[in-house]
Amino acid sequence: MASSETTTERIDLLREARRQWEKHWGEEPAPSMAAVTTLMRAQQIVMSHLNLLLAPFDLTFARYEALMLLYFTREGSLPLGKIGERLQVHPTSVTSLIDRLERDGYVERTPHPSDRRTTLATLTVAGRNVAGQATQVLNADRFGMDALSTESHEELILLLDRIRETGGDEVAGDLRPD
C-alpha cells in the first residue's frame, strides 16, 4: 500500500498514454487520441482472434472475406476488379489475395466470357465448402465479439458508421457481378 513506484500491478498502456497526453497537451485532444489508439488496439485483438479461428482452414480474415464475396454470388465468380471495389482494397492486393486462394485450391482464375482484359475469380467446390465451414465456426464464436451484448454491437456500429461516413464509405454502382 506504500506508494509503490516499483509496482508490478496490471497497467493499461492506453490509459497511461492518455494520462501523458492530458499532462502535455491538456484535456482537449486527449479523448480523440485515446479513441484512436483504442480503436487500433481493439481491431488488432479482434483480427488476431479471427485469424486464429481461421488458421485451421488455411485462411486469414482477408482471404475469408474474398471467399464470402464469391460465395454470395449466383455463379460463385467475380472479376478481380469488382472484388477490390467490394473489399475496398487496392487492385494489387486483390491479385495477391487471389493468388493465395488459388494456390490453396479455393478459387480458380477463369477468363471473362466477353472482355479479355478481365479475369474472373471462380469459387471451386473446395472453396465453397471451406467458406461454409469457416462461417459456421465464426458464427458460433460470434466473431469474437462476445464481450458485447447485441445492443452494444448496434451502439458500436452506430458510432463507427459516423467515422466511416467521413471516410466517404459508400460506393456508387449496383451489386451485379459485372
Partner DNA sequence: GTCAGATAGTAGGGCATCCGAGTATTTCTG
Partner DNA sequence: CAGAAATACTCGGATGCCCTACTATCTGAC
**Residue 69 touching DNA (CB under 7 A):** no
Report d(CA 75, CA 122) in Å as an integer: 8
Residue 113 or 167: the one with the smaller Cβ distance to its own copies is 167
**Residue 110 touching DNA (CB under 7 A):** no
Report d(CA 62, CA 107) in Å as an integer: 14
Member of 38, 119, 124, 135 binding DNA (CB under 7 A): 119
Report d(CA 26, CA 7) in Å as an integer: 27
**Residue 123 touching DNA (CB under 7 A):** no
Report d(CA 115, CA 84) in Å as an integer: 18
**Residue 95 touching DNA (CB under 7 A):** yes
Residue 52 or 148: the one with the smaller Cβ distance to DNA is 52
**Residue 177 touching DNA (CB under 7 A):** no
Buried b (16+ CB within 10 A) or exposed e, 97-135: bbebbbebebbeeeeeeeeeeebbbbbbeebbebbeebe
Angle at 141 between CA 86 and CA 146, to 5 degrees: 95
**Residue 81 touching DNA (CB under 7 A):** yes
Name the minimum Å distance from CB 45 to DNA. Answer: 10
Residue 115 or 169: the one with the smaller Cβ distance to its own copies is 169
Where does this chain bind DNA (CB under 7 A)?
A: 60, 62-63, 79-82, 84, 87-98, 100, 109, 112, 114-120
